[in-house]
Amino acid sequence: MALIRPFMCAAVLALIAFAAQAQAENRLVSSVYFPVQISTPELAEGPVAPDGVIYHQEVRSLKAVQLTEPHAVRFLRQGESKEVEFTLPAGTLFVVARDKTGEMYCTAVASDTNILAAVLLQSFVAAFHDAGVCLRDSDFDGTFDSEVVFDQAPNRTRTPYEILGVENGTWKPIHLKAEPLEQAKIPAAELRLTYDYRSGGLFNKPFGLLHFALCWPKALVTDEGGSSDGKTCANFNFDPYGAGLRVSLGEGVHSSFTSYPFSLDVVSDKTKRLVVTMKDMLPEGYGVLRMAGRVTRSDRSQLQYTVVRITPTKRPPGEAPPI
């Protein structure tokens, strides 16, 4: 027994160190941010039953363009010696993004994605080859004159909003036309708060889970990036693993939560319904959306979850500083 205890202590310390390292690796520093318009919040009227939506609002890029003609792209993936070539079709959407060097428009593509390898090998190999493409119009004459193409391995790029930065690519000259979209026609992400009921099992009492998620618009997710339910959603920085905020159930039982920028009170009734009062939420107006981290399950790249942060700003695009 004397020999076992030191071994057990060492194993526990090793697990703690590994967990701390994994958590640190999940935090990402993003040099690119996305100016967005946040709609008026909509809160459910009256009690919300299990599987119900408590609150939602739209988050939409402030500006976007679409290609008026096909555009061939070549780039060199990390760790490879041969360039990859693919074509962006006419109508491809690019949303406005910014970094310390100025404004650009970005999109995400699934270049040469090997779906069969992903299924057979469970993505323990690099079966997914997402890429980001960003364009610049340096003289503001309405024609894009430079582009950068890059991958972010091992991070996924299923939507432009998952772009961390453009440092992995090299800007190259181009001559490309695109037309701006009306702001109302830009596809919007949906920010929502949902209620999930859990029975608790044999030895635990039933409880509720509140889930915040930002679900990307389908038009801005690569064909291979969607989940089985047709939605690709991101978690928030205050709940990166998407575990949810736990709510005790029972007639008149009260719970409260504060996680910037949200603050809410929850009261349950005897029928498992919840009455939710949101005291603070994202205000209507401008905001900055950026990547804050990622969460993975084992080494399966298709099970990577994005962690995002949205910060309200008082100023419109181009005036909102990096945060």
7-21, 58-72, 155-169: least confident range? 7-21
78-99: average pLDDT: 85
What the block records as the tokens of 30 is 């993003």
pLDDT of amino acid 21: 32
CB atoms within 10 A of CB 309: 19
Q: How confident is the model at residue 293 (pLDDT cuts 50, 70, 90)?
A: confident
Q: How confident is the model at residue 141 (pLDDT cuts 50, 70, 90)?
A: confident
Read off φ and ψ for residue 208, nearest 5 degrees: -115, 155
What the block records as the tokens of 299 is 């080494």
* d(C-alpha 49, C-alpha 249), whole Å: 12
What's the mean pLDDT when you consider all of the chain? Answer: 79
What the block records as the tokens of 84 is 């990859």
Contact 88, 77 (CB under 8 A): no
CB atoms within 10 A of CB 3: 7
Only one residue has tokens 């998407």, namely 242
User: Is residue 121's pLDDT more than 50?
Assistant: no
Read off φ and ψ for residue 157, nearest 5 degrees: -135, 75
* d(C-alpha 95, C-alpha 34), whole Å: 8
Q: How confident is the model at residue 130 (pLDDT cuts 50, 70, 90)?
A: confident
Read off φ and ψ for residue 117, nearest 5 degrees: -65, -35
Angstrom distances, CA of residue 102 to CA of 121, 180, 267: 41, 18, 46
pLDDT of amino acid 111: 56
98-125: average pLDDT: 66
pLDDT of amino acid 29: 66
Beta strands in 137-269 (DSSP E): 143-150, 172-180, 188-198, 207-215, 233-236, 245-248, 254-259, 262-268
63-72, 208-217, 304-313: least confident range? 304-313
pLDDT of amino acid 297: 57
User: Is residue 63's pLDDT more than 70?
Assistant: yes
Domain boundaries, the chain: 29-61+185-313, 64-182
Residues 21-46 have pLDDT tens digits of 333 335 666 789 999 999 999 999 88
Burial of 106 (0-12, 13-18, 19+ CB in 10 A): buried
User: Is residue 278's pLDDT more than 80?
Assistant: yes
pLDDT of amino acid 2: 45
150-175: average pLDDT: 87
Q: Do the bridges between strand 188-198 and strand 207-215 make them parallel or antiparallel, or are there none, so unpaired?
A: antiparallel
pLDDT of amino acid 122: 42
264-279: average pLDDT: 91
CB atoms within 10 A of CB 87: 11
User: Is residue 11's pLDDT more than 60?
Assistant: no
Angstrom distances, CA of residue 18 to CA of 13, 205, 294: 9, 32, 17
57-67: average pLDDT: 95
Higher per-residue pLDDT: 317 or 149 = 149
pTM of the model: 0.81
Which residues are CB-neighbours of 209 under 8 A, at least 6 positions away? 195, 196, 198, 243, 244, 245, 246, 247
pLDDT of amino acid 242: 82
